[in-house]
Chain A
Amino acid sequence: MPNVFIPPSMRDLIPDHSVVSMQGKTVRAVIEQLERSYPGAKDRLCSGETLRPGIAVTVDGAITPLGLLQPIGENSELHFLPAIGGG
């Protein structure tokens, strides 16, 4: 199952875990699953049907331009990180 790395600021909602395994074939599906296990989780990461402004999701180390719609693999790992720009 895909592994979701939990941002430290969500520890109040998801105590005792820095990584949780969640079923899902897209980032969106994984977040929905996270919400079912930890009600309120989706609102922490999403604003409506998109990621909250300033949050990027990386799947297997790569920042995805597709955001919530990014397909993920059976053993993918997901991180929610600050969006990076550049000079």
Chain B
Amino acid sequence: MSNKRVVTATINEETAEFLCEPRQTLLEVLRDSLNLTGTKEGCSNGNCGACTVIMNGHAVVSCLVLGVEAEGAEIQTIEGVSCDGSLNEVQSAFLEGAALQCGICTPGFIMQTEALLAEKSNPTEDDIRFYLAGNLCRCTGYDKIVRAVMAAAEQRQVTTG
């Protein structure tokens, strides 16, 4: 296809260069061009949060960001939250707290939780529910997700002192 641009971004701490049509979303680029399929598509209009990634320190729904807007950006996806092959506190808390059923919303919740904990290391239940309200889960009723975020916050405080 003609009309493609070369975009350079830092994705999961590595430089990535990709070809991108102006109409392609960051979600599409991540999934189809870069094979980072851990970022999920649930609605493609910013309502469900399944495609949440962290871009320049902020949680964004990647379906509402164009691929070309990633030029020069620093992006973290679910594949990059723990680079050393182990699970981080948030991932462990979701796993141990049975905070997922079908799992399709899980990467988005984990990314949003990372953004929350970066902003507030000791969130209240209300903080968590407010901050995660843009991420939809249809299986769990949110109870175990909210508890997992609380557990992750606590664990992270222990590990980071």
Report A-B touching, CB under 8 Å: no
Which A residues fall within an 8 A CB radius of B?
none
